[in-house]
Chain A
Amino acid sequence: MVFNSLHFLLFFIVTTIAFFLLPHKYRWMFLLAISCYFYMAFKPIYILILAFTIVIDYFAGIYLEKTSDPSTKKKLLIASIIANVGCLAVFKYFNFINENITDLLGTLLIQNPIPMLDILLPIGLSFHTFQAMSYTFEVYFGRQKAEKHFGIYALYVMYYPQLVAGPIERPQNILHQLTQKVNFDYDRITQALKLILWGMFVKVVIADRLSLYVDKVFDSPHMHSGISSLIATIFFTFQIYCDFSGYSLIAIGCAKVLGVDLMTNFRRPYVSISIREFWSRWHISLSTWFRDYLYIPLGGNRVGFYRNMLNVFFVFMISGLWHGANWTFIVWGSLHGIYLIVEILTAKINFKWPLPVFTKWIFNFALVAFTWIFFRAHHLAEAKQILINIFTWKKGGLYIGNAASFGYSFLLIAFLLIADYNTEKWNNKFSLIYHANKTVRWIGYVTLIIILLLIGVFNGGQFIYFQF
């Protein structure tokens, strides 16, 4: 059940009404039940994986709090990590590793005896596994008390608005909210619905519109020219942003309706003028996860310079691998690691780029867009072909596809940039839906909905990040 479906719309309306009609003491049960239904709508059997990690992490949390022996604590933490990462290893990485082993053995003319697993990747596995792990880490570090109520802990992992694609929450932010009494608050709910409306708009109108062009070019790069490949790359840069930030906004909005404030996941990443800034604005819940639970435990910047650089590179490479079991994602993550290392090095030698801000912005955007080529490509050969097309400026006409759709794409990107700039510089002063005047706000709601109906792409399918 994806957020941009009629199925979800009905689910959301019915469950929200039921939620507010139920007495407070039954609401957690109801939320847990509908979260199970939401997850099982994708593939029912995979609920067992969730159940497995929930049970392991619940008891790990309890025992971590009970014991004061550091060695036992460490063992419990390792057991929990093995259980969680084990699920990821089996369902997400096994075939990738096995495939590479097969290739490696193939070069030595040896046949790999280990067969491939015929399994589908459980939806959102990386997200809920990481959310579950953040709980165990927080209890281990003593920053969070273990949750004694099994149902509430299960709800923490399974809370449906952020179950399949985040934001990856921390227990400190969300656990106490799940037990708070929620009243029907007009202001909170209208704020939430605005987030949902804007999220839906950027996903259905912008991301899915851009995908029509992007898919055509990236799915057969050898058929397209340099200019088409370049435009497809720029379109994908905005598509992935709108797709994922749109999902996050809908998730945050849905949770807000139900009285839970989730963390902000995107803060206009494409206004950044450096890679460091980009990562403080892009997929914030994941980048802070890696910072808190991988970068800092590895020593962070408290180690020697070279070790620190190695840590940066390693964390970004792992972040790439987190996104998918494919070399393309590893290259994507590694490139960001390299960019950041270069930035740190230039800062260390006090080198300042003698460039105006606009040029820095363009340059930074180009660096980020370059990495998205690897992220979008199905395999490295495809990415290579796109790069060849662009950098050799491969001859051939500009692929337009549907001229009107091609035109909308540019208009929508311009609209998005203006909207982001308005939020960044003027705190939504000129936004229709956040305007001080009520009539203007209503015009904004109606306009967005009508545009959604007129140029939204309603068979755009799943959110890209669901596959992670």
Chain B
Amino acid sequence: MKKFAIHISLLLLILIVLDRICGAVLENLFYKQTHGDEFVSIELLEHSKADVLLLGSSRASHHFISDSIEQQTGMTVYNGGRDNMGIHYINAVVPEILNRYTPKYIVIDLIPNNFCKGSQDVQGYFDIQSSALLPFANKHQPFYNCVQQYNSLEVYKAKYIKCYAYNSLIGSMIQNTFTKIGHTQIKGYEPLATGIDTTVYKKPFSNEFNLQPSLDSTSFQLFEQTIQACQAKGVKVIVCFSPFYFERPIRQNVQAFFQRLSTAYQFPILDYCTDSNYMHHSALFYDELHLNNHGAAMLSKSVGQYIK
């Protein structure tokens, strides 16, 4: 038993030392990325000083051409949209950005019906967003609280096991640091080239994830907190519901909630969800949820003009 105890202790000791070394190397590598999903978050949290910030999911990253909006507004623009990121992520990053500097505008792109209960596997969706925040938790202390709120175990794992914060990221970190392969963004905007194939897209593939009629109060709470944080710093907020290929009307209760908040906090809502200039125009879409570069140019022009 004694021999076993000694060996297990020795193994643990080696693992702890190795974990610290690997953790330090990975942290260094993480912040050296030159493109990719994590790079967008790093830019947003550590470097960007843009006047206009665009936040949201993959739809934001593919829908808003930073250069186009810059040309129209004469202000600097950074697109901080990132795959799978929703209000949970936005709510965490906004206060951290505002601690560093104060942009003039923050445009938040949302899928309104995602604010319904059951719109996604909420815990699963929050888990994805938490794991995106985890690598920053060592450097940005408030992220701990944010992740802890939804998955306390993850925070402790990341706190005591340094490698764990970079779980599953090593491949993309190497790719995004040493190669040009993968997502490439232009000031955060990631263009999609091809048009929609109408022979494949005859009806919506995504079924709005088993939407339930009731509202998801947590998502709305997070949204409201984000608006409050922006307004406390005098940042103008614009909420955008960007276009869909198929008709996807906003639920009445969701609409009402956003309208109420819009009135209370005086922020505009740009609703393109059922805009006939986009809907069913296959030349403007990459798939049913994402505009291609032509669609993005059209939308960016419209949003740019509004900001101007």
* Chain A interface residues (CB < 8 Å from chain B): 6, 20, 184, 186, 189-190, 220, 222-223, 396, 402-405, 407-408, 442, 445-446, 449-450, 453-459
Contacts and interface: CB of A to CB of B under 8 A. Distances in A.
A450 B18 CA distance: 8
Interface of B: 1, 3-4, 7, 11, 14-15, 18-19, 22, 127, 153, 157, 161, 163-164, 166-172, 175, 181-182, 200, 205
Closest 8 A/B residue pairs (Cβ): A404-B171, A404-B172, A453-B163, A184-B1, A223-B205, A186-B4, A454-B170, A403-B182
B167 A458 contact: yes
Given A189-B4, A403-B182, A454-B166, A446 B15 contact: yes
A405 B15 CA distance: 25
B18 A405 contact: no
Contacts of B157: 6, 458
A446 B182 CA distance: 31
Contact of B163 (A6, A184, A445, A450): A450
24 contacts: A6-B157, A20-B1, A184-B4, A186-B3, A190-B4, A222-B205, A403-B172, A403-B181, A404-B168, A404-B170, A404-B175, A405-B168, A407-B171, A442-B11, A446-B15, A446-B18, A450-B18, A450-B19, A453-B161, A454-B170, A455-B171, A457-B168, A458-B157, A459-B127
A458 B164 CA distance: 10
B205 A402 contact: no
Nearest to A406: B171
B167 A454 contact: yes
A453 B205 contact: no
Contacts of A220: 205
A445, A456, A459 pick with most chain B CB within 10 angstroms: A459
Given A402-B172, A407-B171, A454-B166, A449 B15 contact: yes
Greatest chain A CB density within 10 A among B7, B163, B168 is at B168
Q: Does more than half of chain A's interface fall in helix, strand or loop, or is it mixed? A: helix
A453 B19 contact: yes
Nearest to B23: A453
Considering residues A222, A403, A445, A453, which has the most beta carbons from chain B within 10 angstroms of its beta carbon? A453
A393 B163 CA distance: 41
A408 B3 CA distance: 37
Contact of A455 (B4, B18, B168): B168
Nearest to B169: A404
Contacts of A6: 153, 157
A190 B175 CA distance: 38
A18 B164 CA distance: 30
Nearest to A5: B153
Contacts of A446: 11, 14-15, 18
A437 to B, nearest CB: 16
A287 to B, nearest CB: 35
Contacts of A223: 205
A20 B11 CA distance: 21
B144 to A, nearest CB: 18
Nearest to A223: B205
Contact of B171 (A20, A184, A190, A408): A408
Nearest to B127: A459
Contact of B175 (A222, A403, A454, A459): A403
B224 to A, nearest CB: 28
A174 B221 CA distance: 56
A407 B172 CA distance: 10
A308 B163 CA distance: 57
Contacts of A186: 1, 3-4
Contact of A405 (B22, B153, B164, B171): B171
A454 B163 contact: yes
Contacts of B161: 453
A74 B211 CA distance: 54
A455 B167 contact: yes
B167 A456 contact: yes
Contact of A453 (B4, B164, B171): B164
B76 to A, nearest CB: 30
A404 B181 CA distance: 10
A454 B14 CA distance: 16
A186 B1 CA distance: 7
Nearest to A446: B14
B94 to A, nearest CB: 26
A223 B288 CA distance: 12
A442 B11 CA distance: 8
A256 to B, nearest CB: 14
A408 B169 CA distance: 11
A408 B182 CA distance: 15
B15 to A, nearest CB: 6
Given A403-B172, A404-B171, A455-B168, A445 B19 contact: no
Nearest to A447: B18
B175 A450 contact: no
A211 to B, nearest CB: 13
